[in-house]
Chains A and B, each alone.
Chain A
């Protein structure tokens, strides 16, 4: 055991790449009104990736139940709406699968209503739909949910504002700085071009990556249409952090 190891010191940590230019929204985006009082106003401080940032919570199969990934089977009856399969892979920027990552999902029901106390949209709740799921990716980074296609719903951001149908995704990668929360949209949705959330992403190539694609191959005959949605988390820098400080 060398001296550094004996003293509990690690001398080289390989950090994660900073997100590619304009793939991420800015904190302040006036088109989305809630950012005005919540976006930081002081300059952010550059954070080197230390052991505290390249590590992160590790989850296991004890953290999820089989019914957590099938949102149509969490109640005695079947939820109303269009049954869908949503599957894909969690990869990093270097195209490596992110294995055993915790994926969390929440969404509105088919009528565009969340089972949440502050959602007062005049649309029915569904007693057979909670709208919450959770799954662990397999060794190849694959995940799969069965759920109901959510409805669009109005919000108060501006006059006649409607959110396009979407699923909220929360991802834990291997390291804390890989953490990501995003939204998955559906192909061909005419509301996307009006949506400040979707349009908050400046990069023209990055924005449509949030739209899933119809997937005939994983569609279940006579049962459910399927959508494919791959998610890319940040990848490792090629060189150790100390020598690549930007």
Chain B
């Protein structure tokens, strides 16, 4: 039997009331192992204006490259207290911020390991269906061989790689630019 997939509709301008009681901006309690990082940035529309009514959701593996999910059959441990899910509503300046740990490498198509990355889902008024993109890490040799990054035109790959803050090595900055010259790469998922 085949059923027709339900159509997507926008979250609209009032998504905050739906999601604010279930926001997760600190993903890793102290007991969780791994390199502590912050991931922050802003969301901007086609006029470069901040988007103050967006929702950013992130999904990631733990420091060993294991997802807290039954389909991850790798022989690696999950860690208590680490779900790997975050959700942040943007503020008046279009900003978002998560504290988490850097994920380990997970297998990709045909078993080739992927470079460390975080999957990002973006919702907002004006998006009839959500966007999916990824954040990769700066100074990461594995990026050159990443099977998904290789599918992205070379001149647009930089939009998926976070920048390290010059003031704080643990602070990564990454923006979501919806349109224009520096438009973030979004995926057909």
Contact = CB atoms under 8 A, between A and B. Distances in A.
Given A29-B128, A181-B123, 12 more contacts: A1-B75, A37-B46, A37-B126, A38-B126, A38-B127, A41-B179, A42-B156, A42-B185, A45-B187, A168-B14, A170-B19, A197-B10
8 contacts: A25-B7, A26-B128, A27-B127, A27-B128, A37-B49, A42-B186, A183-B10, A232-B5
Interface string B125-142: 111111110100000000
Contacts of B144: none
A95 B1 contact: yes
A106 B5 contact: no
Contacts of B128: 25-27, 29, 32, 35, 197, 200
B25 interface: no
B8 A58 contact: no
Given A20-B5, A40-B178, A9 B123 contact: no
B8 A40 contact: no
B166 interface: no
B179 to A, nearest CB: 5
Interface stretch (A77-85, A110-118, A141-149, A220-228): A110-118
Nearest to B51: A38
A44 B185 CA distance: 7
Nearest to B187: A47
Contacts of A234: 5
Given A32-B128, A55-B72, A177 B14 contact: no
Contacts of A198: 9
B187 A8 contact: no
The secondary-structure label for the interface of chain B is: loop
A134 B17 CA distance: 12
Contacts of B61: 52
A24 B130 CA distance: 11
A105 B186 CA distance: 26
B83 interface: yes
Interface in A1-55: 1, 4-6, 8-11, 13, 19-20, 23-27, 29, 32, 34-42, 44-55
Given A8-B75, A45-B151, A51-B106, A197 B9 contact: yes
B8 A42 contact: no
A45 B18 contact: no
A57 interface: yes
Interface in A71-115: 91-95, 104-106, 108, 114-115
A192 B185 CA distance: 34
Contacts of A119: 13-14
A231 interface: yes
Contacts of B84: 57
Interface string B47-83: 1010101000001010001011111111110000001
B54 to A, nearest CB: 9
A209 interface: yes
B124 A38 contact: yes
Contact of B129 (A27, A54, A115, A174): A27
Interface stretch (B33-41, B93-101, B109-117): B109-117
B9 A183 contact: yes
A35 B1 CA distance: 35
B163 interface: no
Contacts of A118: 13-14, 53
A52 B188 contact: no
B165 interface: no
A181 B72 contact: no
A44 B5 contact: no
A152 interface: no
Contacts of B2: 93-95, 235
Nearest to B49: A37
